Amino acid sequence: MELRDAQEKFRAAGVALYAISYDDRKVLAEVAETLGIEYPLLSDLDSSVIREYGILNTQVNPSDGILYGIPYPGAYVTDENGVVVEKFFRDSYKRRESAENLIEAALGRLMPEEDGDPKATGGEPDVRITASLRGGGGTLKQGAQRKLVVRFQLGEGLHLYGEPVPEGMQPTRISVAAPPGVVVGEPSFPPTECLRLETLDLELPVWSGTVEAVIPLYATSELASECHPLERTQATLEVTVRYQACDDSACLLPKSEKLVLDVPVLPVDVQSISLHQGHGQRELAIQGEPHMRRLFLRKAREHPVGVLRFVWSEVRMELASRLGLRR
């Protein structure tokens, strides 16, 4: 759904988007029409391309019925020659890249922030600091990868420090305090330049001009589960920035700046099959059951014994939950 919401951005950036699954044309056609998807939804019916790429989920086998043939989900981003420049495969199928992540990987640079992105500004006249949350319209959603971008705009002649610097100098450090259920990664900065201070015989790693640091983060079920309605619709991210700005002759005092972002929290988009319904998520406006039946029959024709085993284990799972294992 996030890809759909951003399909215009892909077009504007000149990045051709393709989505591949083992689904048949019929459900893909309905999805494309109902959701207004204009990029190709490709049908890898027998998972041959998934297999050729080496990303077939081999922990799932024919006795897992309709599941057999799924890939480990992920994405490849290529340059104009079709050569991979970046790829995204995560430890959980729940972790998804934002559309912006993919476009930025293709372009090799960050996109500008958008009007709706949660944003906070601070700093001082010659050191303007802006923190913004990018991706998915600047929202938090279970598993969706987001980027917190902290931008420094330095006045003429000023620089900030990377690491390592001698004792007494403040390197630039960013930390994020987030509610439970938000997993915050390490900040990544662009490469520093080397500033040579002849008089002190020192070489210092510095940044000047405009500098953007990126902190990846995503939400787990503790913040936003797909199994029950949201407990909160908003989360606060507190970004603490420690820095010291200097020019060639003097330094401003080291500073600690706190920027606070209020971020909307959203439910996930789920298919309209009974498994997902009634959990307070965003259900797609498509009747899922007929497509499930067709998928089931297709897999049953391919692997009859496997599918029987799958049905039996699904029935057992349903019975177990109905008999209400008291938890």
Partner 1 sequence: MKPETDELGFEAPAPLAHPGRTGLPAGHPTGPEVGERLPDFELPDSAGRRVRFHEDRGNSRAAVVFYRSAVW
158-217 positions binding partner 1, by CB under 8 A? 181, 183
Give the nearer residue to partner 1 in terms of CB position, either 9 or 173.
9
Least distance (Å) between residue 26 CB and partner 1: 9
Contact stretch for partner 1 (CB under 8 A) within 58-66, 126-134, 166-174, 206-214 = 58-66
- DSSP run (H or E) holding 182: strand 182-184
Size of the site for partner 1 (CB under 8 A): 91
288-307 positions binding partner 1, by CB under 8 A? 288, 291-292, 295
| Strand, helix or coil for residue 256 | strand
125-154 positions binding partner 1, by CB under 8 A? 142-143
Give the nearer residue to partner 1 in terms of CB position, either 64 or 117.
64
Query: Count of CB atoms within 10 A of residue 17's CB?
Result: 21
Going by C-beta distance under 8 Å and a sequence separation of 6 or more, which residues neighbour residue 221? 142, 181, 227
| Strand, helix or coil for residue 280 | coil
* One residue of 36, 82, 166, 191 binding partner 1 per CB under 8 A: 82
Please identify which residue in the block is written with the tokens 């998934």.
50
- Judged by CB under 8 A, does residue 273 bind partner 1? yes
- Judged by CB under 8 A, does residue 227 bind partner 1? yes
* One residue of 4, 75, 131, 239 binding partner 1 per CB under 8 A: 75
- Judged by CB under 8 A, does residue 76 bind partner 1? yes
Q: What is the DSSP string of 117-167?
A: S-EEEEEETTEEEEEEEESTTT-B-BTB-EEEEEEEEEPTT-EEE-S---T
Q: Sign of the CA dihedral 33, 96, 47, 314?
A: negative
Site string for partner 1, 87-126 (x = CB under 8 A): x-xxxxxxx------xx-xxx-------------------
Contact stretch for partner 1 (CB under 8 A) within 47-55, 148-156, 158-166, 253-261 = 47-55
Least distance (Å) between residue 262 CB and partner 1: 23
Burial class of residue 323 in the structure, from the number of CB atoms within 10 Å of its CB (0-12 exposed, 13-18 middle, 19+ buried): exposed
